[in-house]
Amino acid sequence: MTAPTPPWNTSRPVVVLTGASSGIGLATATELAALGYALVLAARREDQLGALARRLDPSGHRVIAVPTDVTSPDSRRALIAAAHAHFGRIDVLINNAGVTVERGWWWDDPDPLRVLRVNLDAPIELIRLVLPEMRGRGSGHIVNIGSVAGQAATNGLYSASKFGIRGFSLGLRRELLGSGVNVSLVSPGFVKSEMTARARLPMPGPDIVARAVASVLLRPRREVLVPRVYHLFAWLDRRLPALGDRLVRRLIVRRYDHSGQ
C-alpha cells in the first residue's frame, strides 16, 4: 500500500477561496498568488478552475484546485479535507461564491432560495467547519464578500442574502473578539463581472475588490466598501430613502419588463 502524501510544507498563509473561477474570485486568486499566498481554489467549473490553478502555479504545490458545490454539505467537507491533506492547515477562509436571480424577478424564478443557500447558508457552514481549527490555534482570518446591496436594498432575495451576511459577519467578529480570529467584510458596489454584465452603468474591474481583500488580510478591518463612492450611496440611502428609490428605479428596476426578461 502506498503511504499517504504528507501535507505540503509551507510557511505561507494558506487561503481557501470560494467562487474562484471568475470575476472577483479570479481577480482575488491572481492578486493573492502574486503576493505569495498558498491557495486552495474552489468553484463548480472544474475546467476553468484547474486552468487557473495551473496558470498561477504550474508546480501544483502552492495553488490547488478543488471543484466544489458550496451548497452541498459533502462538497464543503471535501474542500476542507483537501486543504488539510495538501497543506495541513487553513489560515484564511474567503467566502466569495455568490449568485443572484439570473433573469427577471425573483418570484418568477423556479428556485429563488438558491440565492440564500449560496450567499448566506454556505458561508456560515464553511465558517463552522474552519472555526474549531482557528480558535484552537488562536489565529485565523475569515473574509466574507458582501455587497453594497447589504446596506442599500435593491433586489429582494439578493439584498436579503447580503444584509444577512453583513449582520452575520459583524456579529461573528464580536463573538470572536480576543480569540485571535479576525473577521472582515468586503462589500463591493457594481464591478464588472458575469453577475453585472447587463447593468447599464460605468463600473471598475474586479481587481479593485481583489486589492481590498489583500489589504484587509494585511491590516484586518471590520468592513470595507469598494469603490469608495458607494459610502456616499449607502449614506444617502439611509438619510434620503426617497432619493434611493429613484436611483434604484432608474438603474436597476427598469431593466426588467413585465414579462421578466
Question: What residues are labeled active site?
Answer: 158
DSSP state at residue 108: G
Nearest to 68 by CA among 97, 103, 93: 97
φ/ψ region of 16 (left if φ > 0, alpha if ψ in -120 to 50, else beta) reads beta
- What are residue 144's DSSP bridge partners? 95, 185
Nearest to 170 by CA among 154, 158, 182, 153: 182
Residue 96 in contact with residue 18, Cβ under 8 Å? Answer: yes
Name the one residue in this structure whose C-alpha cell is 439578493.
158
